Amino acid sequence: MSSDEIPTLNRAQREACERLDGALLVVAGAGTGKTRVIEERTARLLERGVAPERVLLMTFTRKAAAEMLERAALRHPLARRVDGGTFHHVAFRIVARNFRALGLSGPPTVIDTDDAANAVAAAIQRLGLQRDRRRRLPRKGALQAAFSRATNLRAPLADVVARDLPDFADEVETLQRVRRAWSEYKLERGYVDYDDVLVMAAKLLGLPEVRDRVAAAWSHVLVDEYQDVNAWQADIATALAAPHGNLMVVGDPKQSIYGFRGARHEKIVGFADDVPGAAVVHLTDNYRSTQAILDVANAVMAQMASRIDRPLRAAARPGGERPRLTVVEDERAVADLVADALQERLGDPGALGGHAVLVRNAYLSVPLQGELLRRKIPFAVFGGLRFTEAAHVKDVLAGLRILHNGFDELAWLRLLQLLDGVGETTAARWFADFSDPDALAATGDGGPLARARRRGEQVASGKTRAGLQELIAALDRAERAVSVAESYDQLLAWYLPVLSRRHPHEPYRQQDLAFFRVVVERYADLGALLADLALDPETTRQAVHAGAPDAAEGLRPVTISTIHSAKGLEWDHVVLVGVDDRTLPSPWAVRRAARDGDEGELEEEKRLLYVAVTRARERLDVVHALFGRQGLQRLSRFLEDPGVQATLDVATSARATFADEGGATLERGGLLAALAGDEDG
DNA sequence: TACATGAGGCTTTTT
DNA sequence: GCCTCATGTA
């Protein structure tokens, strides 16, 4: 938020800042200074004498919270100490401190989606279902997704299965059994996935005595991006504020883009009804963008089926350059065009950081990344595959997880299977031996690692023996290490040869692991590191290292981001690429609308475009490639809309030509005709 | 029991 | 087109 550009608070902002007590809903359009309001209101609470630790600020990414508090600190020095974090962080703290009330024997381990799916596979195996050839099951990932969706929407599994896994509609009872076995498996092993964290916290807060004890820590609760909360998160927020009623939520229903994750933008629309006595403030003056950019946003908004608000009005930047829609030949040409534009800014230190390239799907930026690498233009990537999801990072993390919790089965299985000659069965058998509770009690081994150290010789035979012993020796050295970083080094010393054997031609993996050490170094406590990595991949993204390492120093990199990850951010110049009708809207949303008559997802895709457009301050470029992976592609229906077209300057690159069936080449006029045509393949 | 091979299903966005 | 799972083979 460009708070520095708002000279004074306007009337609505002032009202929102001054209402320090009670329930308050702030409906803030894009760029209307809601962040400024949160900062200012926080400062006023501190001025009034509220201790910073008593203020809780919840958002969806920790970075957003940290930046907000950093800026608030300019107004009040104590703001940096305000208690802030993501919903998942706060929920995890609550769960970890109250694990006994949940019947757990210790604080749980957070697992990511991938391991949650692995746990589904383990549950299926335990039920003996995988041997049954007559009844096939969905893949583990599809099952995990269905279970997650049911949890997030608080919907019956049957509904989700009917919608997402229609082939298995007759098997709902079996799937239900898998879901129960899966939950039991996770509970037994002390694993919590992202959904469990929220559900457990909400359940705990449903116990009045726990709620009052936990909630007593804070006197004021502030929630940003409330349009993206799901039912569990809304419950957590209201429970934490229940004792005092000081709950401020801020959001914009038109920017709700997490419906797939169970976000319920009705929660913000209905907030005033759910919370009696809540005051409502609307922020409508936009301080971020030029009017020319807002004209595009307004034209997109006009296509929305519901809640057509008053158009955004540029309060600080009237006029402005008209956004441009450029049509080029293909992906390659898109990458060239963008790279050309960025290269011009290379001579202008600091300017590069003012640019962002936004995409609907993470993989769409791959050709551009290649081109920027080639030209040594530094960039940072947000969204898509996260660093900790890369196989090589997960391998080393598995070692750290074992040090943290010797009973971490998924981590053991992962590491053991890296050994030559060891597959699923052997790994499972070894782990069963190492973790056998009776044997552990009988022999006095402290845990699986200690037992593995003694048993290594006996369980393994022949060629696998040496491999197992090397692994155990490495874990042993890592365990004795005096710091987390040293443990990491010990594991790495063992792992790097394994890595070069498995991926001999991918040196980037080693670079990743070297880069990752910088993250590891920051932690003195292994448990904190692992919890943060699972809950907050944001801070450990595959980031600048992807850019040219030998680029001139001090250049702030260009941002490449998914639209989702760009939420809440802004840049002087935004380039939106991948705007064909098979990308934005996504084919799933289109299919859902055509088949089930459910326009909900299509509406969300419109909001996605709205979010993308409103990230730009001064200049907006939309680049469309005529040819994609599936041949000729039409421009997004949302951009073809006459209202939107009227706000854009349309340009066609001279290179954008294509051959029709007869081999003739069309240019300009022909291209535009093709854009408007209804043939899409 | 590890690994190769083939068939089939699913393909996005994030904590 | 890619990943996952199941079956066949050494």
pLDDT single digits (tens) A327-360: 888 888 888 889 888 888 777 766 778 899 999 9
In A86-215, which ranges are continuous DSSP H helix?
A: 87-97, 113-127, 140-153, 157-164, 172-189, 194-205, 208-215
Place A668 in a pLDDT band, splitting at 50, 70 and 90. Answer: very low
Give strand C nucleotides closer than 7 A to any protein Cβ. 4-7
Place A207 in a pLDDT band, splitting at 50, 70 and 90. Answer: very high
Whether A141 CB is under 7 Å from strand C = yes
* Cα–Cα distances in angstroms (integers) from residue A64 to residues A60, A219, A379, A485, A573, in the given order: 8, 21, 20, 27, 20
Asked if the model's pLDDT at residue A542 lies above 50, the reply is no
CA→C1' distance for A412 and B10 (Å): 29
Cis peptide before A367 (omega within 30 of 0): no
Mean pLDDT to the nearest integer, A57-67: 84
Asked if the model's pLDDT at residue A559 lies above 80, the reply is yes
Is A376 buried (19+), middle (13-18) or exposed (0-12) by CB count in 10 A?
A: middle
Dihedral of CA A578/A582/A586/A590: which sign? positive
Whether A87 CB is under 7 Å from strand B = yes
CA→C1' distance for A618 and C2 (Å): 40
pLDDT tens-digit readout, A244-276: 999 999 999 999 999 888 888 778 888 988 888
Whether A668 CB is under 7 Å from strand B = no
Whether A136 CB is under 7 Å from strand C = yes
Whether A565 CB is under 7 Å from strand B = yes
pLDDT of residue A132: 57
pLDDT of residue A669: 43
pLDDT of residue A552: 46
Distance of alpha carbon A266 from the chain centroid: 21
What tokens were used for A477?
């050295």
Asked if the model's pLDDT at residue A655 lies above 60, the reply is no
CA→C1' distance for A483 and C10 (Å): 46
Q: Are A313 and A637 in contact (CB under 8 A)?
A: no
pLDDT of residue A308: 64
**Smallest CA–C1' distance to C1, residue:** A629
**Smallest CA–C1' distance to C6, residue:** A133
Residue A513: how many other CB atoms lie within 10 Å: 21
Whether A464 CB is under 7 Å from strand B = no
> pLDDT averaged over chain A?
84
Asked if the model's pLDDT at residue A425 lies above 90, the reply is no
pLDDT tens-digit readout, A444-489: 778 899 999 888 778 777 778 888 888 999 999 999 999 999 999 9
Query: What is the secondary structure of A480-496 as a DSSP string?
Result: H-SSHHHHHHHHHHHHH
Closest CA relative to residue A391, chosen from A679, A115, A58: A115
CA→C1' distance for A133 and B7 (Å): 14
Question: ∠ CA(A664), CA(A667), CA(A668), 5° rounding?
Answer: 155
Asked if the model's pLDDT at residue A543 lies above 50, the reply is no
Place A547 in a pLDDT band, splitting at 50, 70 and 90. Answer: very low
pLDDT of residue A587: 86
Mean pLDDT to the nearest integer, A132-153: 82
CA→C1' distance for A448 and B15 (Å): 31
pLDDT of residue A307: 61
Q: Which residue(s) pair with A624 in the sheet?
A: A327
CA→C1' distance for A80 and B12 (Å): 36
pLDDT of residue A499: 82
CA→C1' distance for A417 and C10 (Å): 20
Question: Per the confidence metrics, is the pTM higher than 0.75?
Answer: yes
CA→C1' distance for A630 and B3 (Å): 35
Question: Using CA atoms, how far apart are residues A70 and A68, in angstroms rounded to an integer?
Answer: 5
pLDDT of residue A676: 41
CA→C1' distance for A169 and B2 (Å): 36
Place A386 in a pLDDT band, splitting at 50, 70 and 90. Answer: confident
Q: What are phi and psi of A627, to 5 degrees?
A: -115, 135
Give strand B nucleotides closer than 7 A to any protein Cβ. 1-3, 9-15
Asked if the model's pLDDT at residue A96 lies above 50, the reply is yes
Residues 6+ apart with CB under 8 A from A441: none
Q: Which residue has the higher pLDDT, A554 or A592?
A: A592
Name the nt closest to A565 by C-alpha to C1': B14
Q: Which residue has the higher pLDDT, A170 or A184?
A: A184
CA→C1' distance for A459 and B4 (Å): 27
pLDDT of residue A474: 94
Asked if the model's pLDDT at residue A516 lies above 50, the reply is yes
What tokens were used for A485?
């970083």
Contacting residues 100-129/A vs strand C (CB within 7 A): 121
Dihedral of CA A623/A628/A634/A639: which sign? negative
The answer to which of A278-292, A544-558, A598-612, A661-675 has the lowest mean pLDDT is A661-675
Mean pLDDT to the nearest integer, A402-421: 89
The answer to which of A196-200, A450-454, A676-680 has the lowest mean pLDDT is A676-680
In which residue are the tokens 């007559």 written?
A: A134
pLDDT of residue A47: 94
pLDDT tens-digit readout, A16-56: 998 999 999 999 999 998 888 999 999 999 999 999 999 99
3-state per-residue secondary structure call for A354-397? HEEEEECCHHHHHHHHHHHHHCCCCEEEECCCCHHHCHHHHHHH
